[in-house]
A = this chain, B = another copy of it.
Amino acid sequence: MTAVPAIVLVRPQLGQNIGKAARAMLNFGLTDMRLVAPRDGWPNPEAGPAASGADAVLGGARVYENVAEAVADCATVYATTVRKRGVSKPVLTPAQVAADIHAATGQAAILFGPERSGLEADDVALSRAILTVPINPEFGSLNLAQAVILVAYEWSRGRGLAQPPAVALDPPAPQAELDGMITQLDGMLEAAGYFHPPDRAPSTRRTLRTMLTKPGWTAQEVRTFRGVLSALAQPRPR
């Protein structure tokens, strides 16, 4: 039993590209498509013809308002970006991500940004690692479906080779539990006046989220950290 990643299209613009992505996925056995705030709503009549028969993928696609909801059940999230970002996250090739996914337990998700602009910093902050296709440095021009097909191909390619993980480590906590922990800390920091000056708060919040996403804490570890926070918020009477 090998883990099958979800393909998350974040704010996709054209229905045609959603259809092409579905076709690309199904060629290599991926079926879990998730759409975050598709620009033209969903369903989109332009998606079907472009899917060339991959209707089951489109029919099963789930729609979410934001990325956090779309990956709430996921233990590991990868953000696909064309270029390296100035963030302290590992940068992996499609082959490395495929190997990761095959070796891991828990649901994985791979984020792909809108056609024009790509993922935003806040989307990347949610992710444990960045996926970058090594590309001609003088001509990098992958469209959405092409990026999806390369990632799906690599996943499929590694599937036959998938080894059971040597050590059955507990998977990282689902993203929703991590979010709960971050929200708890955020509330305490807000009350303590930590986010000062206010105009730097968004970037500070991203930094904290990146740090707390990095360890891949298990559900038990997330609960322990929440216990730590609760103890600091409400010291026990002596």
Chain A residues within 8 Å of B, Cβ to Cβ: 23-24, 26-29, 52-54, 84, 88-93, 95-96, 132-136, 139-143, 145-146, 149-150, 153, 156-157, 162-165, 167, 169-170, 185, 188-189, 191-194, 196, 207-208, 211, 214-218, 220-221, 224-225, 227-228, 231-233, 235-238
Contact = CB atoms under 8 A, between A and B. Distances in A.
Contact of A27 (B52, B136, B156, B162): B136
Contact of A217 (B53, B91, B164, B214): B214
13 contacts: A26-B139, A52-B143, A95-B164, A134-B163, A134-B165, A192-B235, A192-B236, A193-B236, A193-B238, A196-B236, A211-B217, A211-B225, A214-B221
A contact patch SS: loop
A134 B27 contact: no
Which 7 pairs, one residue from A and one from B, show the smallest C-beta to C-beta distance? A193-B236, A215-B215, A192-B235, A194-B231, A214-B215, A93-B164, A26-B139
A166 to B, nearest CB: 8
Given A92-B164, A194-B236, A214-B216, 4 more contacts: A24-B146, A26-B141, A27-B146, A208-B224
Contacts of A91: 164-165, 167
A28 B238 contact: no
Nearest to A231: B194
A142 B28 CA distance: 10
Nearest to A133: B153
